[in-house]
Amino acid sequence: MLRTRFDWRLIVPALLLSALGLLVIRSAAPALFLNQFVFWLAAVVIFLIVSFVDFRVFTSLYIPIYVFSLAFLVTPFLFGLHSRGAQRWLQFGQSTLQPSEIIKPLLIIVFAVIAGSAYRRKTLLLAASAILPLAVIFFQPDLGTMLVLFIGWLTIFLSRVRLRVFLPALLAFILLLLPIYKFVLRDYQRQRLESFLNPYSDPLGQGYHVIQSLIAVGSGEFFGRGLGHGTQSQLQFLPEHHTDFIFASLSEELGFVGAGLVLIFFLVLLYRIYRISQTTSSPVASAFCLSTMALLAFQIFVNVGMNMGLAPITGITLPFISYGGSSLISIGLTLGLVHSISRTIHSEQYLQIS
C-alpha cells in the first residue's frame, strides 16, 4: 500500500541530499543550523500537504496562482528588506523569505497550463506570461533566480513551439546579447563575467571568490579533511561558504567521495523526475516535470561550475545543500507537485489493473 502512496525513488535521493546539506551547514555555519533545520521541517510539511492534493486542482487555478505570484513578487518593493544593493527579501523576525524563489514552481504551473491549452495564440500568450515576472525579478535585482526561471520557461516553450518560430527567436536573442551586456547588466554583473574569464586579473577583488573556491575544492583531495576541519570554510577565507560556495565547503571537508555522492544523488533525482514526465498521460503534468528537471539541472550545473571555476558567479544556490529557507520551501513545494503527479500515475495504473 505504501508503495502506491509514496514514490520512494523520488523521496529517497531528496532525503539523502537534505541530510548531507544539514550536515555541511552544521559544520560550516553551526549558528545557522537550527534555522535551517526548522525551514527543512517546514519544507517537509509543505511537501506532504501538496503531495496529497490532485495536481489537476492546481492547474485549474492557474489564473489565481499567476495573480498571486505577481502580487507576492512585488511585495519586497513595498515592504522588503534592502541589503547589499538588492531589495528581494521579506523580513519575518530573525528570518527572511525571498518571494522570487518561492513562486518559481507556481509560475511553472502557469506556463505548463498555457503550453498545454487549446488557445489559438498560445505561443504568444506563453511568451507574454513570462515577461512581467522575469522583468520584476531582474530589477530587484536577482539575475540568478531570473535565469533559473527563464530556463524553466524556455524548456516548456521549446517543447511547444515550431522550429520556424524558434530559429528567428534564437537569432534575435543572440543579436541582443551584446546590447544586454553593454546597457542592461549592472557594473558588478559585468565584472563577474570578466573575472570568470581571468580571475587572477583581480585576485583580491572580483576574482577572490573563484580563487578561494578552487583552493577549497582542491584541498579536499579524495576523502576530505573531515567535518569541521576545512581551513577555507572554517577560517572564512572562502566567502559565502554556506550559500553560493557550499559545494566548495562540502568538497573540502568530504572530498571527492562526498562531492561525488552529492552529484550521484542529484542524477538519480533528476532521472526520476524525467521518468515521471514520460509516464504521465497529461501533457501539462509532463511539461511541468520536464521544466522542473531542467531548472534543477541548470541550478546544479551553474553552482557546481562556479565553485570549480567553470561558470561565472551568478548567486545561484545549490538545491537542498545551500543555506536558505526560501530555497528549501521552494524545493518542498516543487517536489510535492511532482510527487502529486507521480501518485496520479500510480492511481491510474491501479485502476487499469483492477
Q: Is the pLDDT of residue 353 over 50?
A: no
C-alpha 300/C-alpha 296 separation (Å) is 6
Q: Give the CA distances from residue 318 to residues 150, 183, 248, 301, 322, in Å, rounded to whole numbers and listed in that order.
A: 17, 29, 11, 9, 5
Closest CA to 347 of 17, 5, 91: 5
pLDDT tens, 184-236?
666 666 666 666 666 766 666 667 778 888 888 888 888 889 888 888 877 77
- Residue 46: other Cβ atoms inside 10 A: 19
C-alpha 95/C-alpha 324 separation (Å) is 10
pTM score of the predicted model: 0.88
| Average of per-residue pLDDT values in the chain | 86
pLDDT tens, 230-273?
888 777 788 888 888 999 999 999 999 999 999 999 999 999 99
Which amino acid would we find at residue 252?
E
Task: Extract the C-alpha cell encoding 129.
Answer: 506570461
Domain borders along the chain are 2-353
pLDDT at 2: 40
Q: What are phi and psi of 103, to 5 degrees?
A: -80, -5
C-alpha 260/C-alpha 189 separation (Å) is 30
C-alpha 180/C-alpha 55 separation (Å) is 38
pLDDT tens, 153-195?
999 988 776 656 656 666 766 666 666 656 566 666 666 666 6
Q: Which residues, at least 6 apart from 35, have a Cβ–Cβ distance to it below 8 Å? A: 94, 95, 325
Greatest alpha-carbon span in the chain: 67
Which amino acid would we find at residue 45?
V
Rg from Cα positions in the chain: 20
pLDDT tens, 98-152?
999 999 999 999 999 999 887 778 888 998 999 999 999 988 888 889 999 999 9
End-to-end alpha carbon distance in the chain: 14
Which amino acid would we find at residue 274?
Y
DSSP string, 278-308: HH-S-HHHHHHHHHHHHHHHHHHHHHHHHHT
C-alpha 232/C-alpha 251 separation (Å) is 11
Contact 320, 18 (CB under 8 A): yes
Contact 242, 249 (CB under 8 A): yes
Q: Give the CA distances from residue 157 to residues 69, 146, 152, 287, in Å, rounded to whole numbers and listed in that order.
A: 20, 16, 9, 9
- Residue 298: other Cβ atoms inside 10 A: 18
Specify the DSSP class assigned to residue 180. I
Closest CA to 216 of 245, 243, 244, 258: 245
Q: What are phi and psi of 61, to 5 degrees?
A: -105, 25
C-alpha 207/C-alpha 195 separation (Å) is 5
Closest CA to 327 of 1, 4, 3, 17: 17
